[in-house]
A and B are shown apart, each in its own frame.
Chain A
Amino acid sequence: MPGKFGTPTDPDYALRLAEFEARIARGEKIEPGDWMPEEYRRQLVRMISQHAHSEVVGMLPEGAWITRAPSLKRKMILIAKVQDEAGHGQYLYHAAETLGISREEMLEALLSGRAKYSSIFNYPTLTWADIGTIGWLVDGAAIKNQTMLAQCSYGPYSRAMVRICAEETFHHKQGKEMVIAYAKGTPKQRQMAQDAINRWWWPALMMLGPHDADSPNSEVLIRWGVKTKSNDTVRQEFINEHAPEILATGLSLPDPELHQDPQGNWRHGPINWEEFWSVVGGNGPMNKERLEARRRAHTEGAWVREALEAYAAKKSPIPMAV
């Protein structure tokens, strides 16, 4: 709808922007249909669709272990967890759709390799203990971000996040419970858990994004109430919670410089950003396989989607204005 997304060349832009920012300052939610800067919309579409893609691609590394889960309980939990990730992707695509982008467009961007998703899912899951570790560390890091985003000024994104946070806490807890159990388990189980922690600790720190000084979008996102905390702040919260809890299990963390400072904050050693940007750039161990799996599912599902459309066209045509 023309005029809904304002650009700085609009004659009334300054006035409307001031009203918009005042609304956010008052704690109001921006809803679909309200005026918003085009840049706000663009940033949200970028963030939300990336986030949705991350959930959907994030199903793969864990989903691969559903058929190998070692007990009835773990199998049940893992199906439910990976299913939740599909659900979260689904909620997020919905939130992005309210900004005028279609699921088809977003999927095309993902499958063509243009869209980004969280690079952590380009690491392989090598053993069963990775499942617990992903729950504890990766979901633990994700929840820190999601809790913040539940405060977001854009109504549909905020609502998706509130729902996701409510569901996601179980992901974190089941992972933590599992790793703690293995840390107290047999030597083989303990070793497997330690190996998984060693491999996932640094990627988990990286997934919270570049340092504030290197994060070009942060400032405007904070001003417009999309993000309410910086990457480094969220990362510090994550480490403060997780480092002592992991150490308390008797497992170690793969950072010789990790220590608690006099203020009580756990300080980490230097992060290997070269590796981070390399994985973001498509050179992680699993980038190609993950995308390939998504493409295959999409291609193999095409006849199914067509069949239901054909059936609907015969039986119950609905108004299709979208």
Chain B
Amino acid sequence: MSDTQWPRWEVFKQDTPNKPHQAVGSVHAADPLHALLTARNVFVRRPQAVSLWVAPASAIFSVTQEELAEGPKPSPESTGVAGAYLLFRKTSHKRSMTFVDYVGQLEAPSPQAALEQALRQFTDAEALAWWVIPASSVVRSEESPETVESWFAPAKEKTYKQQSYYGVVGTHTSKLRGRGGADES
């Protein structure tokens, strides 16, 4: 078997129960459970999270606004089946740590059809990019309180990773200007 870095899985993190799952990046992992565990290790080093989803990058049908304007885009063959699809959408060019947010699930004969349906259904904001993912390929963290406590709560106590832990150290630059610099702080 040839050596690889394992397949890529996109990771979706939900920060609080009232917020949507958001695409935060990807992990390389070998199988679904491993991908989910890895996502927790990589993306929950800091608060905060209450739920994680992962999906193989190869199962994602992605379309940008620019691509939409150019006409239909063929979706990946491996995923072109009827069933439930999860829809994710990007709506802002603002600086952010996340890309597309979860907007909802719908039944469709193909990813392309799911996208067309989404364009009619989710019209509350301009869409700059879409991801369409078969629900069957999404792996989700357990929702039990025990799992949430075990996977997501401890990060809140690792305060040494927060800059606020170090308080104000030294004298701020603004106070030093023009003082020649050699004073004791």
Contacts and interface: CB of A to CB of B under 8 A. Distances in A.
Direct contact of A and B (CB under 8 A): yes
Interface of A: 27-29, 31-35, 73, 76-77, 80, 83-84, 87, 90-91, 94, 97, 102-104, 107, 150-151, 155-156, 158-160, 162-163, 166-167, 169-170, 172-174, 176-177, 180, 240-241, 243-245, 247-250, 260, 264, 302, 305-306, 308-312, 315-316, 318-322
B170 A167 contact: no
B66 A34 contact: yes
Contact of B7 (A35, A260, A318): A318
A245 B181 CA distance: 7
B34 interface: yes
Contacts of B90: 31
Interface in B24-72: 24-28, 30-32, 34, 42, 45-46, 56-59, 62-64, 66-67
Nearest to A266: B181
A77 to B, nearest CB: 5
Contact of B4 (A162, A309, A311): A309
B63 A33 contact: yes
A97 B176 contact: no
A309 B34 CA distance: 11
Contacts of B64: 31-34
Contacts of B180: 260
Contact of B128 (A31, A87, A159): A31
A248 B63 contact: no
Given A173-B169, A316-B32, A305 B177 contact: no
Contact of B176 (A77, A172, A244): A244
Interface stretch (B93-101, B103-111, B112-120, B142-150): B93-101
A169 B171 CA distance: 17
Contact of B34 (A87, A169, A308): A308
Contacts of A311: 30-31
Contacts, number: 175
Q: Name the residue among B6, B59, B98, B158 with the largest chain A CB count within 10 angstroms.
A: B6
Contacts of A29: 93, 128
Given A159-B25, A302-B3, A306-B3, 15 more contacts: A27-B93, A33-B62, A91-B25, A159-B98, A163-B97, A172-B163, A177-B169, A241-B173, A248-B182, A249-B184, A264-B178, A316-B31, A320-B58, A322-B8, A322-B57
25 contacts: A27-B93, A28-B93, A31-B90, A31-B129, A32-B62, A33-B64, A33-B67, A34-B66, A73-B160, A163-B24, A167-B46, A169-B163, A170-B161, A170-B162, A173-B165, A173-B169, A177-B169, A247-B182, A248-B171, A250-B182, A306-B1, A309-B6, A320-B56, A321-B78, A322-B58
